[in-house]
C-alpha cells in the first residue's frame, strides 16, 4: 500500500497488519486480538515519534481571552485550543512571560496573545516517509505481539529507525540553520 493512500489511523494499522500476515481490522473496538493489540499500543507507538518537534506539526494560534479574575499574580487567562501543545507565548512577535494552568495560559498581557506550539495533524497530512516509518514500527509491534517473531520485529524496528532518521534529516532542511551556541571564551579565542 502506497504511503499516499494511508489517510487514517486504521489505514496505518491495516498496512502493518497485512504486511505481517495478520488480518485487517475495521475498528479498534472489536474483540479480536488484532484490534486489542492495536487499541492498546497505537497511541504509544505514534506518540513516541511525535515527541520530536517536526516542522509540519508547528502551529501559531491566536488565543481567546477568558473573562474573570485569575486569582494569581497573572492578570489575564487565555484558552488554549484543543490539541495544541504550547511551546511559547508571543505578543506582536516578541516572547512574553506566561504560565500554563490546565488548559489555560496565564499572562500579564491584555490583548494580542499568540501561542506558538505543536499539534498532531490528521494522518493524511503526515509526510510519506513518516507514515512509512510508523507502519514499520507497527509491523514490529504486531510481529512481537501477534506473530511472536522477535527477530523479524527487531529488523522492522531497525528499518523504522533508519526511516525516522531520514525523515528528521529531510524535515531539518525545511528551516533555517540554527545559530551555533557560542561562549565568551570562544569569541575571545577567535579574536
Whether 179 is covered by a domain: the verdict is no
Q: What is the pLDDT of residue 175?
A: 75
Can you state the percent helix, strand and coil of the chain, rounding each to 5? 45, 20, 35
C-alpha cell at 171: 524535515
Count helices and strands (H / E) in the chain. 5, 8
Are residue 129 and residue 44 in the same domain, yes or no?
yes
Judge contact between 87 and 78, C-beta under 8 A.
no
Integer Cα distance of 36 and 43 in angstroms: 13
Are residue 43 and residue 136 in the same domain, yes or no?
yes
Closest CA to 64 of 52, 80, 51, 50: 80
Q: What is the pLDDT of residue 1?
A: 52
Q: Identify the domain boundary among 119, 139, 163.
A: 119
Judge contact between 88 and 95, C-beta under 8 A.
yes
Are residue 100 and residue 146 in the same domain, yes or no?
no
Whether 181 is covered by a domain: the verdict is no
Q: What is the pLDDT of residue 23?
A: 95
Whether 153 is covered by a domain: the verdict is yes
Are residue 29 and residue 43 in the same domain, yes or no?
yes
Count up the domains in the chain and report the number.
Answer: 2
Are residue 131 and residue 40 in the same domain, yes or no?
yes
Are residue 32 and residue 77 in the same domain, yes or no?
no
- Residue 109, domain extent: 57-119
Are residue 128 and residue 45 in the same domain, yes or no?
yes
Q: State the CB neighbour count (10 A cutoff) for residue 99.
A: 13
Are residue 62 and residue 111 in the same domain, yes or no?
yes
Are residue 85 and residue 63 in the same domain, yes or no?
yes
Whether 92 is covered by a domain: the verdict is yes
Residues facing residue 105 across a β-bridge: 78, 100
Spans of the chain below 70 pLDDT: 1-4, 70, 177-182, 191
Q: What is the pLDDT of residue 3?
A: 66
Q: What is the pLDDT of residue 128?
A: 95
The pTM score is 0.81
Amino acid at each position: 500500500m502506497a504511503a499516499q493512500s494511508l489517510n487514517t489511523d486504521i489505514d496505518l494499522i491495516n498496512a502493518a497488519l497485512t504486511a505481517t500476515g495478520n488480518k485487517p481490522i475495521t475498528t479498534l473496538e472489536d474483540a479480536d486480538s488484532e484490534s486489542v493489540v492495536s487499541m492498546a499500543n497505537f497511541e504509544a507507538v505514534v506518540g513516541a515519534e511525535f515527541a520530536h518537534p517536526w516542522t509540519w506539526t508547528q502551529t501559531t494560534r491566536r488565543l481567546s481571552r477568558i473573562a474573570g479574575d485569575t486569582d494569581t499574580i497573572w492578570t489575564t487567562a487565555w484558552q488554549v485550543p484543543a490539541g495544541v501543545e504550547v511551546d511559547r507565548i508571543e505578543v506582536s512577535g516578541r516572547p512574553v512571560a506566561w504560565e500554563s494552568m490546565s488548559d489555560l495560559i496565564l499572562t500579564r498581557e491584555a490583548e494580542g496573545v499568540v501561542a506558538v506550539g505543536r499539534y498532531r495533524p490528521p494522518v493524511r497530512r503526515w509526510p510519506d516517509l513518516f507514515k512509512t516509518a510508523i507502519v514499520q514500527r507497527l509491523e514490529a509491534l504486531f510481529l512481537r505481539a501477534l506473530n511472536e517473531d522477535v527477530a523479524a520485529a527487531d529488523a522492522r524496528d531497525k528499518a523504522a529507525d533508519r526511516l525516522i532518521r531520514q525523515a528528521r534529516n529531510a524535515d531539518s532542511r525545511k528551516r533555517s540553520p540554527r545559530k551555533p551556541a557560542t561562549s565568551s571564551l570562544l569569541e575571545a579565542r577567535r579574536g
